[in-house]
Chains A and B, each alone.
Chain A
Amino acid sequence: MNVFRIAFAYARRRPLATVLNVALLALGVATITLVMLLSRELEQRLVREATGIDLVVGAKGSPLQLVLAGVYHADVPPGNVPLAAVALLGQHPLVRQVIPMALGDSYRGFRIVGTEPAFIAHYGAAVAQGGVWAAPMEAVLGSEAARASGLAVGASFTGSHGLAEGGGDHGETPYRVVGVLAPTGRVIDRLVLTGMDSVWKVHEHHDGDEDRDANAGADPAKPQAVARASPAPEREVTLALVKYRSPVAAASLPRAINTETVLQAASPALESARLFTVFGVGTDVIRGFALLLIGASAFGLFVALAQALDERRYDLAIMRTLGARRGLIVAVLLIESMLLAATGLVAGLLVAHALAANVGSWLPAAAPLAAGARAWHPDEWGIVALALGTGIIATLLPAWRAYRLDVAATLADG
């Protein structure tokens, strides 16, 4: 016999009220934790993917679209720009490096990026098998693209038109896999990389077929990384990643590019912050709702304890006659509510982590967020404090009444 056993016996005696309060709290904790885990992971990924990229340049249009297409590979690019303009930017004294990218095709949903080997270096990806492309139509697969497609070095595949699955095939110009990259945890894992000349070559073949392709493509706004007049090489690229030589460049370079060239410059840091602000409204609403659930469970706990106290006045009086100090009576109530709060808390955290770890199965677009959501987040200590604090606050008034219980009068009431 001990104080925990007594508290547990009481909690067990009112199974429905107990289960209801635990469930309410668990729901609130799970919601708030899940939102926190996913939004923190999203924010971190947004920042991580943009690391080292000071600017994205491409066709004029929406800067957010440019960043989504060039950094996160999550949107279609606004259009194409002349390679010459990008090359010229590379000679600017404030620019350390320009990595051009030609987009437009994909393989089984993985984007085919025509670029330079510097792209691989930028993401710090090691070549796990084979090597880097040396000739047109040689491709290197990101680790996830290789795993999901099952392609290995030496295999061949043909890209399809457009960035989503379902575009027309480029059957006449197959790629050959010459290398596979090691995992990096960044977007490059989900890309298929090749030389820019490969992308140009693929599209030379059907200069005259543009209309057919446009009809077959899944996305009418689909960009065309195409060299339009093929033998006369006014080469085009889709966009380019820019690294500054010095932070000073941030003050003048974007505006100079936007006003003086055909290019548009967009800052990943600014655009992703803007994007996250938009998300933030949604997560704030969900978080508010979760707090409401936790508040409701606190109120439920309070009502249950206050009611229980009325029913238990005689029990408590008897315990006092058996030698229990006032403090012990308060401890029984406090432990009982802590028992419920802790159960709800643990259940909620487990549910949140389980949902976050398997987010891909119920929210496929968020699948990449699962990996980081498995780990314990320091902010979860705040949720622990919130849930247990809620339990304590709900107990204060009943505990005070129990403490003040007039034993003799309660017994005489009988």
Chain B
Amino acid sequence: MFSLNGIEHRYGATPVVRVEAWAAGAGEHWLLAGASGSGKTTLLHILAGLTTPASGTVIVGGTDLGTLSGAARDRWRGRSVGIVPQRLHLVGALDVRDNLRLARYLAGLPDDPDRVRDLLDAVGVADLARRYPRALSQGQAQRVAIARAVVNRPALVLADEPTANLDDAHAARALELLRTQALANGAVLVVASHDARVRPLLPHVYALPLRPETLAARGVAA
């Protein structure tokens, strides 16, 4: 479903991520493992077309991201990728329901109140539809963020450290929700995490090594 080949990305002279080859098949659920600073977030951004790697090819769902212009890539991302960012971040000026409608609007998809309602129901926050994000608990906000990530039925769902700061029960529940929603939408799921609790819950693992150059750049002996 996606394949990365010969990816290298650097900030200035410091390489932050290098991937020789990584390919995922349709409907697969992946753990992108690696310690803090190993470039997991950068790699997720590369997969989402938010960051263009210095070299290498990224093909997602048959689209070579390197061939897309900025605006075309924004449009492609809105329809094909659902992102649950590390800090969740819902748009504070809009209520829960409108956060989901916003995702459809920005992707250029028609408004779909039924889809929004069903989805909020499926993630268990139907009664919070008219609440504003500041009135939500961390767990509720995460459910909304997951719903927003899949509202456009993307082919690829990316989650960045979804279990950070969650206790075991909540961490398991968050992972479960991501998996069921990815499954329900037939999407490939990639969860970037350094959390050992996540590993047994996802069948496929791609591990990013912590690069010696990165360590050196941080003043740590390799």
Contacts and interface: CB of A to CB of B under 8 A. Distances in A.
Q: Do A and B come from one complex?
A: yes
B112 to A, nearest CB: 11
A324 B148 CA distance: 14
Interface stretch (B26-34, B78-86, B119-127, B175-183): B78-86
Contacts of B102: 1, 6, 319, 322
Contact of B111 (A1, A6, A323, A407): A1
B61 interface: no
Interface in B81-108: 81, 83, 85-87, 89-94, 98, 101-108
B77 interface: yes
A326 interface: yes
A324 B74 contact: yes
A323 B79 contact: yes
Among A9, A10, A12, A323, residue most surrounded by chain B Cβ atoms (within 10 Å): A323
Interface in B173-192: none
B50 A321 contact: yes
A320 B89 contact: no
Nearest to B105: A1
Nearest to B46: A408
Interface in B30-59: 41-42, 45, 48, 50-51
A240 to B, nearest CB: 72
A323 B77 contact: yes
Contacts of B222: none
B25 to A, nearest CB: 24
A318 B41 contact: no
Contact of B91 (A318, A328, A414): A318
A2 interface: yes
Given A1-B111, A408-B42, A13 B98 contact: no
Contacts of B13: none
Interface residues of A, number: 26
B78 A322 contact: yes
B107 A411 contact: no
Contacts of B86: 411, 414
Contact of B101 (A1, A10, A320, A412): A1
B139 interface: no
Contact of B93 (A1, A12, A321): A12
Contact of A2 (B91, B105, B148): B105
B71 interface: yes
A123 interface: no
B131 interface: no
A322 B111 contact: no
Contacts of A414: 85-87, 89
Contacts of A411: 41, 45, 50, 85-86
A318 B85 contact: yes
Contacts of B106: 319, 322-324, 328
B87 A408 contact: no
A96 B101 CA distance: 80
Contact of A1 (B71, B90, B98): B98
A325 interface: yes
A119 interface: no
Interface string A320-341: 1111111110000000000000
Given A1-B102, A323-B108, A325-B71, A408 B91 contact: no
A321 B50 CA distance: 7
Interface of A: 1-2, 5-6, 9-10, 12-13, 314-315, 318-328, 407-408, 411-412, 414
Given A315-B92, A323-B79, A323-B106, 4 more contacts: A1-B104, A321-B48, A323-B108, A412-B45
21 contacts: A1-B101, A1-B104, A1-B105, A5-B98, A9-B93, A13-B93, A314-B87, A314-B89, A315-B93, A318-B85, A319-B106, A321-B50, A322-B77, A322-B148, A323-B75, A323-B79, A325-B70, A325-B71, A328-B106, A414-B85, A414-B89
